[in-house]
Every structure is written in structure tokens, then in C-alpha cells.
Chain A
Amino acid sequence: MSTRDELLALLLENARYSTEDLARQMGADEAEVTAAIEELEASGLIRGYQAVVDWDRADRERIRALVELNVTLDRETGYDDIADRLVKFPPVKSLRLVSGDYDFALEVEGDSLREVSKFISEKVAPVPEITQTVTHYIMETYKDRGFEMGDGHDDGRLSFSP
């Protein structure tokens, strides 16, 4: 595995590892790791760092919806143009062009059902090239970005074993 891939693997595992921890695990200098991270960030390969949150444990309500979008294109408007317009909206958490029965998979997040519905009906649906929206509200999240939600497992191993 190249140093860059190793660093990415570690950051994907836990983006909060300190550069010191990263360096120790990789058998590298801290300065090297810092430089490599800066390069990954500057090149745009790393776009950001976020926590994976289990909202079911929070007092605050969080509504997420997956929206299927169908679009029609013309000479002047391509997929990228429509995407450029949609990604600017803060409630849009992800937008992907996909193969299959619809064109875009859009993920929207808001504080209430009303807020999310309003955003889809007032901001997304009126985009002229969008011909159809199908909204799926997320009722339960079992796994997100590789992390299983739920209680996890305690270490049931004996303190000493041969």
C-alpha cells in the first residue's frame, strides 16, 4: 500500500487521529504526515472531515430524505448544470448522478419534516429541467458511512489469555 493510500485508510477509519498517532502507526515522521495531509487537502482529494452521528440518540429531531430526481436535458443544459444549481443549497447533503430508473439521487437533511418538504417543493421541484421528484423519508438508519448504529459490542475477552 502506498503512503498516500495508507494515510487515507487511516483517516477514513478515524479522521481524528492526531498526526502523532498517524505517524507512529505508519512508521513515518510527523512532519511527513503533516505535509502529506496538506497535499491531500490542497489537491482536493480530501474534501473535508465529518462526524458520523446517530441522530436517534440526540434530543434534537433530524429529518433526512432520499429524493429521486428525473430530468430532461437540452442543448444548453447538461447534468452538470443542474447539479451545479442544486449543490449550492445547504440542505442538500449529497447529490449523485446514478444509472437506473432515475437520474439523480439527492439526499436532503433538515430539522423538521415540514422544512424538508418545503425545501423539496419550493427549491428542487421548480427547477425547470426537473420533471419528477420521488421523496423517501428515512425512517431508521442502521449503518452510515461504514459505521453500524446501535450499541456496539463490549470486549468480552478475558483479561489474560495464552
Chain B
Amino acid sequence: MKIADRVQQIPPSGIRKFFEIAEEMDDVISLGVGEPDFTAPWAAREAAIESLKDGKTSYTANRGMRELREAIAKRVSVQYDFTYDPDTEVLVTAGASEALDVAFRALVDPGDVVAIAQPSYISYVPGVTFAGGEPLPVPTHEEDDFKLTREVLEANGVADADLLVLCYPNNPTGAIMTESELAEVAAFVREHDLTVLSDEIYADLTYGEEHTSIATFEGLRERTVVFNGFSKAYAMTGLRLGYALAPAKTIGAMNRVHQYSMLSAPTTAQYAALEALESCDGDVIEMRDQYNRRRQFVLSRFEEMGIDCFEAKGAFYVFPECPWEDTDAFAEQLLQEQSVALVPGHVFGESGTGHLRVSYATGLDDLREAMARIEAFLD
């Protein structure tokens, strides 16, 4: 059977080889996991159970349950000075990943150039390719704290691109961008009439600095799609519930793709998400506090080992420099000899080369042991 060219041109994920090795081994401590080790708050789980007991097993509106869209719009209005109309400017999707995919398909024409700030989440490049667009990597580096600057945008030809994809707090680096730093990017975007796809799935997980959305800058709301969801902050990865916020015309276009592919996000998950927004903020704060302590633990251990590690202030990753030149060899040997799994940075784009993604979404006992094993491996 013939496989479509656009699928064939996407290489297998760079983490597959490691995954296959890890699967064969016992006693692996994985710091390669991009999801919380906590379980979804009980109130959210109970709401999902209750919805099933009540027989809420039908499709919802394509855009998502109205109560949920209202709750999302209400939540966003607390964070921003403006609100999104729950009827026309909010789309509930099966995870933020689906929202991104739908956006690429709705907004990208064949040949359109989509600039992607890298290192980045591994699905952006394939998502653009599947939509027929041309991904344009925009490398960020440790010297700039993995932040996007006007110079970087200019130097990489982003002025001629059609769209710009951002992810702050960032997976895999843990970098965040402050209000003044984002203002510079916002000005560039306005000047060059770009559309922004802003993945803010880690917005609730920042340590020390409040998250700012690029959509809040003057003239940006009209040209930005914001992506968020419940997977990371509410530890609801398996429930697959995300959303997009954008002007009505854009959401309308995205919904056209969404309604012919997903129809509507899972109903059970929508009930869980509604409850999460209504009553689970305390759980989020508690999880964030724990992540922050683990973050400090991991950073201090790397410092002690003499491994240079950028001070991540968001998400649940740190992105240390790899002590060996060959990152793949380091990751593979560490996995085989010490049973510690982490992800080579180049998987997230070329500018991640020479780094490792270390997730601290793992209990302290395992983190302590994993760090001891890394230290032993280095000796």
C-alpha cells in the first residue's frame, strides 16, 4: 500500500530508539517523561465518573460544552484585560495537541512558511509538514536563556514567514519569557504582520515569574491563537482535553477542521475539565509547589556535579549541557549502565544539540536516586 509522501518524509521520533531499549529493562528511573507524575485531582475524576453514571455519553457541541467554554472564557478574563466570547472564540479540543494540529490545517496553505522557536515540542514540525507548510526553525540558545529576541527573529528570516510558533514556558528548556521580552517579539510580529500560534500549556507552571501571554499586547489578540489545556497543570494527560482561543473567524475555520475529524472532544473529559476549573486550583498550587522544590533539588545536584545547567523557571524540565560531545551515546549508555532515562536535546531541534532534557515530574526518592546514578556514571 502506498504511503503518502508527506508522511514518509517525517522521520521517526528521535526518542523511539531509547524507548525500545527502556522497554526491555527493569528498574528504569525515567526522567524522560513529559507528563505529571501526579494523578488528576479527585474532584475532577469524580465529575468524570458522575457524568458517566448520568449517562452523559453523547457528542457535545463541536466547539465543546457551552458551560465549559464559558468557564474557560471566565478563567481567561481573570488573567487578561479582555475576554474571549465563549460562543465564537473558544474551541475545546482533544488535548492542546489536537488544537495545534487543527490550527496548522486551518491556517497553513501549501508553501506557507511557519517559523518555530526551537528547541521545541516535537510535534510542531511534523504538524506544519502534514499541513503542507514549510517549517522554519528559529534557534534559541543558552546564552540568551533560550529566549526569543528581535535579533534572532531578524537573523533567521522570520520577517518573511507567515506564522510564528511559540511555546513559553518552554518544553524542553523550561525557559520563560517576561513581559518586556515578549513585548519585543510582539512588536516584531505587528511590524511584519505575522500570525502567532502561542502554546501556553505550561502557563500555570512557572516559578518566581508570572506567565504573560503574547495575546495581551496591543494588536496581538487579533493575530494570535492561544493554546492551553488541562494535561499539564491539572495532571490530566490521559483525559485529552485542551482548547484554543482566537478571533471568531479563526476559531470558525479551526472548528471546520475539528468537526470533520474529531467531531467533539471527549464528553467525559469535558466534565472533568469543567470541575477542574471550578474547584481544583488548590491542587494545581500544591503540585506546582512540589515541582518547584524538585526543580531546585535537580538544579543544585547538577551544579554540584559541575554540569552547566540553565536555570529553568517554568514547565517541569531542566535542560543541562551534556558532559559528552555525543549526546545520543551519553543517553544510551546512561540508560544501559545506570537505568536512567533522559532525552537528548537535539530531538527538540538542532539548537537543542549538546543538551539533555531532564524531567522532574518524578518523586523525590526517584530523583535523588537518578541523580546519584548520573553522578556515579560520570565518575
Contact = CB atoms under 8 A, between A and B. Distances in A.
B235 to A, nearest CB: 11
A24 B32 CA distance: 22
Contact of B39 (A17, A24, A153): A153
A26 interface: yes
B289 A161 contact: no
A21 B121 contact: no
A160 B32 contact: yes
Contacts of B289: 1, 9
Given A159-B22, A160-B343, A24 B301 contact: yes
Contacts of A24: 296-297, 300-301
A13 B22 CA distance: 30
B30 A160 contact: yes
B32 A159 contact: yes
A157 B235 CA distance: 12
Contacts of A157: 30, 33, 35, 37
Nearest to B371: A24
Most chain A C-beta atoms within 10 Å of own C-beta, residue among B13, B294, B297, B343: B297
Majority secondary structure, A binding face: loop
Given A1-B289, A25-B364, A160 B300 contact: no
Interface residues of B, number: 29
Contacts of A10: 293
Given A24-B300, A25-B364, A159 B30 contact: yes
A74 B346 CA distance: 78
B368 interface: yes
B18 A160 contact: yes
Size category, A interface: 10 to 19
Interface in B351-375: 364, 368
Nearest to B297: A24
Contacts of A44: none
B25 to A, nearest CB: 9
Most chain A C-beta atoms within 10 Å of own C-beta, residue among B33, B121, B171, B294: B33
Contacts of A45: none
B15 interface: yes
Contacts of B364: 14, 17, 21, 25
B22 A25 contact: no
B297 A25 contact: yes
A48 interface: no
Contacts of B294: 25
Contacts of B18: 159-160
7 tightest Cβ-Cβ pairs between the two chains A and B: A25-B293, A159-B22, A160-B32, A24-B297, A159-B30, A160-B15, A24-B300
Interface of A: 1, 9-10, 14, 17, 21, 24-27, 153, 155, 157-162
Interface of B: 13, 15, 18-19, 22-23, 28, 30, 32-35, 37, 39, 121-123, 171, 289, 293-294, 296-297, 300-301, 341, 343, 364, 368
Given A161-B33, A162-B34, 4 more contacts: A24-B300, A159-B33, A161-B35, A162-B122
